[in-house]
């Protein structure tokens, strides 16, 4: 390929999506249905919590933040992927790529911190039930939620600034369906050692720290549950905590595998699968795992359904 000067790189091209028309259309339908289901599930949670005063408590406040993040995360990447699959429009401007990267890292980072906060909230609720409302009051919840969004913003600003100042002089083909740190680092002809070291350090410390807070919180929850006398309560807690931990480990594991490593170990095809797990499938699963199995949420949804039927 002819060598390109950085000043002439005005766009990136997403490659690696199927070139077979029949496969492209099937993938388009599949990801469109997943995206619509994700939007429907998370919007339902937001509407249910906002319209039912019984759900105005810390747990559901954090769940609303999670649902909002789960709407934003696929919305940042999936529409462009659908456009590429249906219309073969695989180009994105340099500025558009950086904007997409910034918001993606912002949302993913915020969700990492939020999951840790949610685990702490459940730890206090299970281990200190009588003091729960005094410890985790709505003022603290607001501060914690705002803190996760601010931390995600500055984390993304740091990483995006490192990528934005890179030189791209050999290729503009991104082997991914969206702009992300690993494929852009692999494309750059600038020295990336210092940037990779900072990215690895920041992502490793913040990601591992949040994961440890989450894991330790659930360990204490499980230990507390084991000392309860009710077998039914133990079964319910194990079922809930098990499903939560499954989603948490899936999200943390895939994001850490994506960002906490050097560009020399970058594998575009493996990364595409991993990124779909945390970017597409986890936002779909979160409403079902965290909210739609909950009795209070089910009761609210049933009431909403009856009201809609009556209105119709």
| pLDDT score for 1 | 40
Which has more pLDDT, 188 or 151?
151
Residue 266 pLDDT grade (very low, low, confident, very high; cuts 50, 70, 90): low
| pLDDT score for 3 | 42
CATH architecture of 11-311: Up-down Bundle (1.20)
What are 176-210's pLDDT values in tens digits?
889 988 888 888 887 778 888 888 888 888 888 89
Residue 239 pLDDT grade (very low, low, confident, very high; cuts 50, 70, 90): low
| pLDDT score for 272 | 78
Question: Is 80 exceeded by the pLDDT of residue 267?
Answer: no
Question: Is 80 exceeded by the pLDDT of residue 234?
Answer: no
| pLDDT score for 309 | 80
Residue 108 pLDDT grade (very low, low, confident, very high; cuts 50, 70, 90): very high
Query: What is the average pLDDT across 223-232?
Result: 78
Global pTM reads 0.88
| pLDDT score for 171 | 79
Query: Domain extents for the chain?
Result: 11-311
Which has more pLDDT, 28 or 188?
28
For the chain, give the DSSP string: -----GGG--EEEE--S---HHHHHHHHHHHHHHHHHHHHHHHHHHHHHHH-GGG-SHHHHHHHHHHHHHHHHHHHHHHHHHHHHHH---EEEHHHHHHHHHHHHHHHHHHHHHHHHHHHHHHHHHHSTTTHHHHS-HHHHHHHHHHHHHHHHHHHHHHHHHHHT----S--EESSSS--HHHHHHH--S--HHHHHHHHHHHHHHHHHHHHHHHHHHHHHHHHHHT-S-HHHHHHHHHHHHHHHHHHHHHHHHHHHHHSS-GGG--HHHHHHHHHIIIIIHHHHHIIIIITTSHHHHHHHHHHHHHHHHH-
| pLDDT score for 79 | 93
Ranges 87-96, 226-235, 273-282: which has the least confidence: 226-235
| pLDDT score for 18 | 67
Question: Is 60 exceeded by the pLDDT of residue 218?
Answer: yes
275 CB-side CA count, 13 A: 26
Question: Is 70 exceeded by the pLDDT of residue 84?
Answer: yes
What is the average pLDDT value for the chain, to the nearest integer?
84
């Amino acid at each position: 390929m002819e060598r390109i000067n950085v000043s002439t790189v005005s766009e990136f091209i997403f490659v690696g999506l199927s070139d077979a028309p029949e496969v492209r259309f099937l993938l388009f339908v599949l990801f469109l249905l997943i995206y619509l289901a994700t939007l429907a599930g998370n919007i339902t949670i937001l509407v249910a919590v906002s319209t039912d005063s019984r759900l105005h408590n810390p747990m559901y406040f954090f769940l609303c933040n999670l649902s909002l993040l789960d709407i934003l995360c696929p919305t940042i990447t999936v529409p462009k992927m659908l456009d590429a699959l249906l219309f073969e429009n695989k180009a994105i401007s340099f500025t558009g790529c950086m904007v997409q990267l910034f918001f993606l890292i912002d949302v993913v980072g915020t969700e990492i911190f939020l999951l840790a906060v949610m685990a702490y909230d459940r730890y206090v609720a299970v281990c200190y039930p009588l003091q729960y409302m005094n410890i985790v009051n709505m003022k603290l919840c607001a501060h914690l939620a705002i803190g996760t969004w601010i931390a995600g913003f500055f984390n993304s600003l740091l990483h995006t600034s490192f990528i934005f100042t890179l030189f791209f002089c050999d290729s503009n083909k991104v082997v991914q369906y969206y702009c992300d740190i690993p494929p852009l680092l692999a494309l750059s002809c600038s020295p990336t050692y210092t940037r990779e070291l900072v990215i690895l350090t920041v992502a490793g410390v913040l990601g591992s720290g949040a994961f440890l807070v989450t894991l330790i919180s659930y360990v204490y929850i499980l230990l507390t549950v084991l000392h309860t006398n009710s077998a039914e309560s133990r079964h319910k807690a194990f079922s809930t905590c098990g499903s939560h931990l499954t989603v948490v480990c899936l999200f943390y594991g895939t994001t850490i595998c994506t960002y906490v490593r050097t560009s020399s170990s970058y594998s575009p095809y493996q990364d595409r699968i991993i990124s779909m797990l945390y970017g597409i499938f986890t936002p779909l699963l979160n409403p079902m795992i965290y909210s739609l199995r909950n009795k209070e949420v089910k009761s609210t949804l049933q009431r909403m359904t009856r009201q809609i039927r009556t209105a119709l």
